[in-house]
Structure 1
Amino acid sequence: TQEVRVTLYDLLGRRVRVLLDEEIPEGFERRVRFQTSSLSSGPYFLRFRGERFVATRKIVVVN
Structure 2
Amino acid sequence: MLDEYQWQEFDEKIHYAMTLTLPIKLTVWEGGYFKNYMGIVHRVCQDSFSNHVESSKQEN
Tell me the TM-score range normalised by the shorter chain: 0.3 to 0.5
More strand by share: 1
Greater relative contact order (Cα < 8 A, sep 6+):
1
TM-score, normalized by length of structure 2? 0.33
Q: TM-score, normalised by structure 1?
A: 0.32
Higher helix share: 2
